[in-house]
Amino acid sequence: MSNNGTEIRFGTDGWRAIIARDFTFANVERVSQAYADYLSDQHNSTRSSLVVVGYDRRFLSERFARCAAEVLAANGFQIALFPEAQPTPLISWSVKQLSAAGGVVITASHNPAEFNGFKIKAPWGGSAAPETTAAVEKMLDQNTPKRTELGDDNNRQLESVTESYRQQVSNYIDLDLLRRTQGRVIVDPMHGSAGTWVESFLTGGRLQVETIRARRDPLFGGVHPEPIDSNLSVLKRRVIETQALVGLATDGDADRVGVVNELGETMTMHDVVPLLLLHLARQRRMTGAVVRTFSQSVLLKRIASACNLKLHETPIGFKYIADLMLREDILIGAEESGGIGVKGHIPERDGVLNSLLFLEATLHAGKAPSQMLRDLHQEFGEFTFGRRDLHVNVELGAELVARLAEKPPVKIADYEVTEVQTVDGTKLGFNDESWLLFRQSGTEPVLRTYAEATSREKMAALLDSAKQIVRGGSKPQSS
Q: Given this model, what pLDDT does residue 239 score? A: 98
Which domains does the chain carry? 15-164 (3.40.120.10), 181-380 (3.40.120.10), 384-471 (3.30.310.50)
Q: Given this model, what pLDDT does residue 4 score? A: 55
Q: Given this model, what pLDDT does residue 471 score? A: 86
**280 neighbors 333 (Cβ within 8 angstroms):** no
**424 neighbors 336 (Cβ within 8 angstroms):** no
Question: What is the pTM assigned to this prediction?
Answer: 0.93
In this prediction, the residues of the chain whose per-residue pLDDT falls under 70 are: 1-5, 44-46, 442-443, 473-479
Q: Given this model, what pLDDT does residue 270 score? A: 93
Q: Given this model, what pLDDT does residue 45 score? A: 56
Q: Given this model, what pLDDT does residue 474 score? A: 37
Q: Which tens digit of pLDDT belongs to each residue from 234-288?
A: 999 999 999 999 999 999 999 999 999 999 999 999 999 999 999 999 999 999 9
